[in-house]
Structure formats: structure tokens, C-alpha cells
Structure 1
Amino acid sequence: MLLDRSFELARKAEEIDALAAKRKNVIASDQMIEGEYPIFVDRTSGAYFWDVDGNRYLDFFLSYGTVVLGHADRDVDDQVIAEIRKGFATGLSKPVQTELVSELLEVIPGAEMAMLMKTGSDATGAAVRLSRSFTGRDRVARFGYNGWHDWCAQWDHGIPRATRDLVHTFAYNDLDSLRALFERHPGEIACVVMMPFEVEPPAPGFLEGVRELTRAHGALLVLDEMRSGFRMALGGAQEYFGVTADLATFSKAFANGYAISALTGRAEVLRRLDRVHISSTFYANSDAMAAALATLRKLRSGPHLERIHTLGSRLQDGLRELTDKYAAPVEVVGHPPMPFLDFRLGSEEENQAAKRSFYTETIRAGVFFHPNHHWFVCAATTEEDIDTAIEAARGGFEALVRDGYTGAVRSGEAAR
């Protein structure tokens, strides 16, 4: 595929746009296949997008999973346009705010109150501040990617050591590692903030064990449902796994791509908002609220999430057949709505080299798989799209064989 226009715009952006200069590409430069992936998008529709060079891609990136119904969903966009035309930036509350919160409380387990914000980091940051206020404690235990604020940023640069010293990480599916933190800091941990899973599923009893540990030690459990919310189930991972947190945070699929987030949970904790400072000029803007309300109502109106699970399972099954056929050192991981391939060649250098072979073929086939992030399935994806993706993956596995990253096809079967 020709990407001339995309790369031309990228070169210009790197000179004037600080974010573009940092990232180099639409995804961080060390996570892309340089020279193969598009950078600038022209338009989107359903499960597809078109880049500025006119190339069409079947999209399993879906804007980091924010798109759950499909790109440019007419039902959602029409409600947003109607809200914009009525005036969405008043600084005062609009009726859609109360409607949306009421809808949230109906579908989120344990949600007695909710606060609407703009970003995932807004919501997780607010959850931590409220937890510290409610418990009178300073320390935080966490797992997974929780945002970019000082208490959880992936990089230490620019963050005071005193801030980082109050935050501790623990190992997933390892209750002993979390128990050790509570024993090392008795009466000091305000909350446990965690994604319910990344790629690895929770072991039987793990989430329940975390719930019990937090209660036993007087800490709050905060589930970071940015990826799992409105995708694993309408009520997120809490509904899917049957574990209710004290607080839960949502964004991404909440509004099919529009910028909004929510903090939900126990009323006695959320009422602490009268004692802590959490605010933004744009929290009251109602355009994204209209999008979120339309998204929730559409998800509730039909078997959209069941369809996403079914299609994701179809994709995973097809990929497993290919990993077996090509004897590939690659494992199909993740839950059906968020599948992924885990390359297991040994060293990270070998894995990245093998990914370059594999993902060069799939992107050239017009299928946008992210090399180093969850993939996502949306309600606009079709069975034919899944078959297209599996066929593109077949080309990727054949490239692994060609480039010496895996053995010959099993049973002597010739690659098709």
C-alpha cells in the first residue's frame, strides 16, 4: 500500500506538534511496524477506516477500544448533533446529565452514585483522591495501566520521588503479593486500584480474594474498567466476573469514541466530593453525555455485546487453528471481545522481529491489528470481516515460516 501522503503529513507534524514529535506515529513508534502502518486517517465507517492515501483497513484497533458499536454510528452521532444544536457548553447542568447518570446506575453493579468527567485518568485519579479522603490513608496498591497522573505514570521523569513512594504495585493472580503489601504497610493503604485483567484472565478466586483482602484491611477496592466496561458485559467486569468494587471507573466504550468518563460506586464514598477538589470547566459539556446515553441505550436494545463475544470467539478459534497448523510459538490470548496474539520466541528482540514479519503481512492485507496492544471487536464487525482477518493472519503465519521464526507446517500440509 502506498502511504506517501500519510508520511508527508507526519514529517510536517513532527516539526510543529509536540505530541507527534514524541510519538512519531499514531501509535508509539516502538510499537509500530515502521513504514508499513498508516498515520493519518481520512474517514471511518462501521468496522473500517480509510487513510489519507485512500487505503481501506478493517479496524481491530478501534481507537484503543473506544469504539464499541462501530465508527460513525448514526444513532449516536445524530443524538450528539441534536445536543450540539441546542447548545452543549453552558457551564450549567443539562437534562441529559441526569438521564445518563440514571442509566448508569441501572447497569453498573454496586453503583449508588456516579460522577461524569472527561478522561480515564480523570476518573482513576478522582477515585484515588476520594479513597484517600474517605480512609484517611495515603498509600495506594495498584495493578495494570491506570493513566498518566503522578501516582501511576509509567515513566518516573518529572514525578517527585515522594509521590511514587506512596504507590506500590503487586503481581496479577498472586494474592500473596498483595497480602504482603498490606502486611508491610498495616493501616496505611487507602485503596487497591486495578484493571480486572489485561491479557491474562483472572484465576479462579483471585478477584474475590482481592475483594476479601481489601475489606479485611479497611481499604477500598477500585476497579479500573476502562477497557472492560461496556464490552465484557453491559455492567463491565463486575457483572461478568460477579465481583463488586467500592468504586469503578469507566471511559473508552462508554460513548463510542466521544470523550467522557465516569466514576461510580458507593454513595458514602462519592459524597466525599464535598471535601476534595475535583473539577474541570468541561465536565458539564453535554455533547459527549448525549453520545454516552445513546450508546448505552443502543447496547441495551439488542444483543450487540453477545455478538461481539461470538465474533471474537470466531476470530480466536481461527487464530488457534493457524498457530497449530504452522507450529507457531504464538499463543492466542485475551477474552473474545479483546483478543490478542502473544509472541513467545524467547527474547524481546526475537519477538519484535517476528512481529515485524507477521504484522507487515496483515497490514498490507488491509487488516489493522495492533502489534502490542489488545485488539477489539465492534458490533459493526461481520462474520465476513472475521474471515478476512483470519485469512490475513494466515499470510502473517506464512511469513513467520518464510523468515525462519517457526517450523514447517504440521503433518506436512502445504501452506495455502
Structure 2
Amino acid sequence: MNYQEQLLNAIPGGAHTYSRGYDQYPSNAPQILKRGKGAYVYDEKEEAFLDYGMALRAVCIGYSDSRVNAAAIQQIEYGNNLTRPSLIELEAAQTLINAIDSVDMVKFTKNGSTATSAAVKLSRAYTGRTLIARCLEHPFFSYDDWFIGSTEVKRGVPQNIQEDTLTFHYNNIESLETLFKKYPNNIACVILEPANLEHPKNDFLQNVRLLCDKYGAVMILDEMITGFRWHIKGAQHYYNIKPDLCTFGKAMANGFSVAAVAGKREIMSLGSIEFSGKERVFLLSTTHGAEMSPLGAFVETYKILKQEHIVEYL
């Protein structure tokens, strides 16, 4: 069997992200890759390819950057995953808080899906509401049911969960306002990317902010792609908009597995444990969520992005 057949035989879809599946690439693309260095990837025969995709946009400085690798390896030498919170866990949290204007608190995880789902859960807990309004033009927020149930690939998602997610259109504030007028006291949050294939027009993001304020919904900006790409402080700074919650991932650690849900203290602290007599939200609780080597990579990546003006160059 060739590599494509072996992959499909061993892994549902042939990869651990559908975006890496064979159906996403032309037939002459390499079926499997061995390694990456700088702006190039290499197949099993060491043939080099200039890589536009850069690990689905998770690599922003270049594959196998020696400085980022060294920072990750240092944390591996420290044990990589300890019994109590680690020094690098605190440093990484403080780094993100200082980097992004809207962030008071942060919780790390390993992928974007769990981060956005955590943001949705916090929003529901904060508002006491159920419905979600998500932007139809933004193709992927999570593998969890709340999002997949609103797509065409909804097999396995219960009907009642499908009905909890509503859709509106990017750069069409009337479509969102229509939802709020129809469900004025039921929408917990509005989730969208700051931008995708086009910039916001006619103060679209600012008007989303106004509608969320008017109807008491949480505004979530998913910055998995735009974070540390549009601006060192995120696309929210670039577009001058302050969300209630935001999510980051991909480029923040130059290919290492780090994602985050972050935002206002009054919402994020619902997942805290120190408030006696107050019911809390069971937020993210993952053994590997604060794995030290990726967090070391994030702190080093952020330093390089800032010192070398990588975002401006891109």
C-alpha cells in the first residue's frame, strides 16, 4: 500500500486534522512528510517543498527554530509536567495577560476546539442563557457538538443541541440584530473571528459589541488564526475592539501545542475555586493543559515575535 492507503487504513480520515486530509490537496502533493526546517518541508525521500501552509498556520517563525526548540527542551529537562503549577505556567499566563489588552485571566489547553467550547460554557454560566450565535462565514470553531451541529456534517449530534446554535453573516449587522430581536433574552454569546477573508466594514465589530451590550450577551472573538498575526496584540487591537472573551492558538507557540481561553476577570473567575459559598463552573481541567515544554515555546516565540517585529514583516 502507498502512504495514503496506509494512513486511511490506520486513521479515520487519514490524518488527525481534516484539513490535512488527502482531499484538501492536489494529487501531486506529497502524501506524507518527514520533517520541516525554516520555510520548507521534506517528504520521506528528503525532497524539499516550499511550504505555504506552515502547519495549518501554526508556525510563524519557521519550522524547527533553534531558539524555540531550546526553550521547549529546557522545560523537558525540568520534568515537563509536574504535580503542582509550574513556574513556566505562571510566566506564560502573565505573558499572555500583558500581551493582550482585553485579558485579565487565562486558561491554557491543547487545541482550539476545547478553548472555544470553554468560552461558550463560561458565557452560558455567566448569562444563564442557552443559545449561541455564531458567524456562518467562519468555517470552523470547534469539533464539539455546539458547533458541528450547526454545520452540514451534523451526524451524531442530538437535534436539541443542533437547535441551540444560530447563525448570522459577517459584515451584515442586520442578520445578527434579527437574531437578538427574535431571541432577546436567550442568546448567551456571539462568537466570530475578527476577520477571515475580508476586513470588517462599516464598524461591523463595533456594532457587534454594541448589540452584545444592549442584549446582555458575551462577545467572543476567536483569534486562533488572527492572534499574533494581525498585530502583536491581536486583531482585536488592530481593529480597536474589546471582546469579553477571546481564544488563541496556532501561531502563539510556533507549532507547539498551546491554545488558550482568556478574557474578563468577572467571567473567567467563574472557573475559580477560592470563592467560598459560590457555585463555580467546572472549566478546563486537563492533565496536559499546562504541559511545560509548549508553554516554554510560547514564551520564547512571543519574545522573538516582539523583538524581531515578525508580525510587521509578515
Does TM, normalized by the shorter one, top 0.5?
yes
2:107 is equivalent to residue 101 of structure 1: no
Could you say which residue in structure 1 is the equivalent of 2:276?
A: none
Percent of aligned pairs with the same residue?
A: 32
CA positional deviation for 1:26 = 7.0
* Contact map agreement 2:40 2:48 (CA 8 A) in 1: yes
Cα distance in structure 1, aligned partners of 2:15 and 2:91: 41
Verify: 1:53 aligned to 2:45, yes or no: yes
Q: Does 1:12 align with 2:6?
A: yes
Secondary structure of the structure 2 residue equivalent to 1:168: strand
2: CA distance, partners of 1:283 / 1:31: 29
**Paired position in structure 2 for 1:40:** 32
Q: Check the 8 A contact 2:14/2:21 in 1, yes or no.
A: no
Equivalent position SS for 1:127: helix
Match of 2:215 in 1: 217
Look up the SS of the partner of 1:192 in the other structure: strand
Tell me which residue corresponds to 2:282. Answer: 277
Kindly tell me the number of residue pairs found equivalent between the two proteins: 300
**Paired position in structure 2 for 1:189:** 187
- For the pair 1:29 / 2:48, whether they are aligned, the reply is no
The C-alpha deviation readout for 1:189-248, integer Å capped at 9, x for no partner, is: 011010112112211311111011100110010000000001111111111111010000
CA shift, 1:8, in A, is 2.0
Pick aligned residue for 1:180 from 153, 175, 178: 178
2:198 to 194, 197, 200: 200
Distance 1:263 1:166 in 2: 21
C-alpha displacement of 1:12: 2.0
Shift of 1:21: 7.6
Matching residue of 1:163: 161
**Structure 2: which 5+ residue stretches go unaligned?**
273-279
1:148 maps to 143
Deviations 1:129-188 (A, max 9, x none): 000000110011011221211011242111011011011010110000000000010111
Query: Structure 1, unaligned stretches of length 5 or more?
Result: 1-6, 309-416
Q: Which residue of 1 aligns with 2:255?
A: 257
Query: Any idea what the Cα deviations from partners look like across 1:332-366, whole Å, max 9, x if unmatched?
Result: xxxxxxxxxxxxxxxxxxxxxxxxxxxxxxxxxxx
Question: Aligned residue for 2:277?
Answer: none
Question: Which residue identity lines up with residue 58 of structure 2 in the other structure?
Answer: T
1:292 to 287, 295, 298: 298
Higher Rg of the two aligned structures: 1
Maintained 8 Å contact 1:140/1:168:
yes
**Letter matched to residue 110 of structure 1:** S
Q: CA separation in 1, counterparts of 2:290 and 2:108?
A: 8
* SS of 1:202 mapped into structure 2: coil
Runs of 4+ in 1 over 3 A off after TM superposition: none
Structure 2: how far apart are the matches of 1:284 and 1:237? 25
Q: Distance in 2 between matches of 1:120 and 1:22?
A: 14
Partner SS for 2:147: coil
Between Structure 1 and Structure 2, which shows a larger proportion of helix residues?
1
CA distance in 1, matches of 2:251, 2:305: 11
Q: Name the CA distance, whole Å, in 2 between partners of 1:266 and 1:12.
A: 46
Per-residue CA deviation, residues 269-307 of structure 1 (Å, 9 max, x unaligned), is 000114122311211321111111111111111211111
RMSD: 1.6
Does the 8 A contact of 1:26 with 1:40 survive in 2?
Answer: no
> Residue 189 of structure 1 contacts residue 219 of structure 1 at CA under 8 Å; is this kept in 2?
yes
Write the distance in 2 (CA, Å) between the matches of 1:190 and 1:174: 20
After superposition, give the CA deviation of every residue in 1:98-139 in whole Å (9 maximum; x if it has no partner). Answer: 111111111112111111111101110000000000011001
What's the offset of the Cα at 1:53? 2.5
Distance of 2:52 and 2:3 partners within structure 1: 23
Q: Secondary structure at the match of 2:201?
A: coil
Contact 1:15–1:21 (CA under 8 A) maintained in structure 2: no
Counterpart for residue 267 of structure 1: 265
- 1:330 corresponds in structure 2 to none
Aligned residue for 2:113?
121
> 1:239: which partner in 2?
237
Q: Which amino acid aligns with 1:248?
A: C
Task: Quickly say closer, same or farther: Cα 1:65–1:103, change in 2 above 3 A.
Answer: same
Residue 31 of structure 1: CA displacement? 2.4
Partner of 1:320 in structure 2? none
| SS at structure 2 position matched to 1:87 | coil
8 A contact 1:91–1:284 mirrored in 2: no
The match for 1:90 is: 82
Comparing 190-199 with 124-133, which one deviates more in the overlay? Answer: 190-199
